[in-house]
Copies of this chain bind each other. A is one copy, B any other.
Amino acid sequence: MARSNAGTKGVPRAEREQQILAVASLAFGTDGFAATNLADVAADAGISKPLIYNYFGSKEGLFAACLDEAGDLLAGEIERIARGDAVGIERGIRTLDGMFAVLDEQRHLWRLLHDRTAPPNGAIADVVSHHTQRIDKLAHEGVTELLALAGDTDERDISVMTAAWLGIVDSLMDWWVAHPDETAAQMNDRVTRLFTALLTDIVRGQS
């Protein structure tokens, strides 16, 4: 009977999965979970929708896989930095530098972990909470050290400050995504300059 495009193209599953993950991560990271539709992802990846379902089970399964890859990349880098000997502001700057380096060619990955349109329960929530816990733990640890230098050990103060720090990181990444011509090295310089400017010159100027 009539022709069909079915049949293997000789691409092994593992390789195909990586292709799909790359396309899907870009789509999810750019448009968010809810606004991404799998037919488009399949088309962009050059395959058909059922193949995605064969390999990842569901839209949530695909997102969870993207998330796991991105989360591990980010949390791994932050953990690596935390093992160093930097303290206080210095540790913050080094962490940012690490993020810039790791995300340089795939800045959209940052958004995956903060997608408010992803379902708040189920497999996705587990993956998200696994990685955010790794990250939050280290952020909390860094902020605790920092505030200790100022004699503040109030647990809620630490909690608020940790949130603010994560907010700073988030907004810097957003800015970076919106300015594709800015290199990681330039961001690096900029952040260092801003931090030292704020923490030394302004205090001296105001006192």
Contacts and interface: CB of A to CB of B under 8 A. Distances in A.
Interface in A113-166: 116-117, 146-147, 149-152, 156-157, 159-161, 163-164, 166
Contact of A116 (B32, B164, B168, B205): B32
A122 to B, nearest CB: 15
16 contacts: A32-B116, A34-B117, A147-B197, A149-B201, A149-B205, A150-B200, A150-B202, A156-B182, A157-B194, A160-B191, A160-B194, A163-B171, A164-B194, A167-B167, A199-B203, A200-B207
Interface residues of A, number: 43
A149 B160 CA distance: 27
Contact of A117 (B32, B157, B172, B203): B32
Contacts of A203: 199-200, 203
Contacts of A199: 198-199, 202-203
A22 interface: no
B168 A174 contact: no
Enumerate the 10 nearest inter-chain pairs by beta-carbon distance, A residue then B residue, closest first: A167-B171, A150-B201, A150-B197, A163-B175, A167-B167, A149-B205, A163-B171, A34-B34, A150-B202, A164-B168
A13 interface: no
A202 B164 contact: no
A35 interface: yes
Contacts of A146: 198, 202
